[in-house]
Amino acid sequence: MADTSESSEIHKSYIEANSKLDHVVLGALVALSAYLAHTNPYSKLGLNPSTLMLISLLLISLSAYFCLRRLHGGVLLLKHNASLFSAFENSDIVGVKAYREQCDKYVLSTYRCYWLRQWTMFLGFAFYVGAKVWIPYVT
């Protein structure tokens, strides 16, 4: 059986790596949103490549928003988790139950934001590639 301090250190390393990855993904999504906003050709909305590129920009920007929400939810989860352990150490049963419910809420929230980030990012890239492939056939 692993030592408690070793498993805590491994878990701490996991949390830090996960947070760094989310920060890198957020930075890349924001940079991509800025790039698309600057380089996309804009015209009237309709069934045309410009509209697909606008949709891809909106989806990538929405993905960045979900990434930011995931990071914020992770910080709040850590805060409530620390409060949960404090209440547990003080034998505060009511506090343990309340903080446990808050932790469960933020775990679900961060998972939803992860799932939404991944799908909006995928759809944004798919719309962008679709628009780039469609442009030679239209012009």
Q: What is the pLDDT along the chain (139 residues), one digit of tens a residue?
A: 455 678 788 878 888 898 899 999 999 999 999 999 999 888 899 888 889 999 999 999 999 999 999 999 999 998 988 888 888 888 888 888 888 898 899 999 999 999 999 999 999 999 999 998 988 877 7
Residue 47: predicted pLDDT:
87
> What are the extents of the domains in the chain?
4-38+47-138
Give the helix, strand, coil percentages of the chain, each rounded to 5.
Answer: 90, 0, 10
pTM summary value: 0.85
Q: Cα separations (Å) of 100 from 8, 11, 79, 82, 105?
A: 19, 19, 12, 11, 9
CB 11 within 8 A of CB 31: no
CB 66 within 8 A of CB 116: yes
- How far is 69 from 67, CA to CA, in rounded Å? 5
Residue 1: predicted pLDDT:
44
- How far is 37 from 41, CA to CA, in rounded Å? 9
